[in-house]
Amino acid sequence: NKKEKPYYVEPDLSIPLNIAYEDNDIVVIDKPAGLIVHPTPAQLTHTLAHALVARYPKIISVGESVFRPGIVHRLDKDTSGLLIVAKTGKSFDYMKQQFLNHAVKKTYLALVHGIPKDIDGVIEYPIRPSTRNRLKKVAVLRLSSKISEKQSTRAARTLYHVREVIGNNALLEVSPETGRTHQIRVHLTAIGHPIVGDKLYGSTEKILKRQFLHAYKLEFVAPNGKLIKLQSPLPKDLKEFLKNQ
């Protein structure tokens, strides 16, 4: 019985990194759609983490897991945009705390099916894993008294603003105040406006190959005390899609 080798994120220089901001403590990556942030049992190679350890070898020991070196928060594989990575243990703890205190302002652009009736809205449904599909999360519209369900249910809050109406769709600016997995996707689906291209959560759009969700703005105070405000333009695929609407 061979003892399993402990998992190690191998450096991979073949994955390009688009750096939006960098100092001694942190680096902010503008992540392309299609790149998974860190290894999972289903995909152990070719992730953002592999690119990071290739550029910043010391990052390998930063963070809470060997699978997530320096990774403070995540973006879904097919969501593009800005992502903060810590380069040192100290800055990791600092940024983690900033997220816990809701001191990091994240704004996404999302194109949704239909037009929300309010220009500005707040969605506050708790979120739990789906019992039917292990890849999905669901919004809990009514809390049940089942203990097991209560344990895995997490509070979640999302703000949105209708920026533009484009035909039968609306382009929203969305700010999640909590950081649950798939939060924006689940919340927008729960109010009847799934994200265009998001097949997992009910979009029927055939042309767009991924969900129209882009992390376009970040505002936070860096570990060095500097106020950082960053913006990432819409990627080409989403721009083209909008043009053809």
Distance, CA of 204 to chain centre: 22
The conformational region for residue 193 under phi > 0 = left, psi -120 to 50 = alpha, else beta, is beta
Evaluate whether 171 touches 126 at the Cβ level (below 8 Å). Answer: no
What distance in Å separates the CA atoms of residue 206 and residue 215, rounded to the nearest whole number? Answer: 22
Rg of the Cα atoms in the chain: 19
Q: Which of 76, 78, 198, 237 is catalytic?
A: 76
Name the token pair of 15.
């994955």
Residue 30 bears catalytic tag: no
What distance in Å separates the CA atoms of residue 23 and residue 120, rounded to the nearest whole number? Answer: 35
What is the maximum span of the chain, computed from C-alpha positions, in angstroms?
62
User: DSSP letters along 10-67, please?
Assistant: ---TTS---EEEE-SSEEEEEEPTT--SS-BTTB-SSSHHHHHHHH-GGGGG-SS-TT
Q: Catalytic positions, please?
A: 76
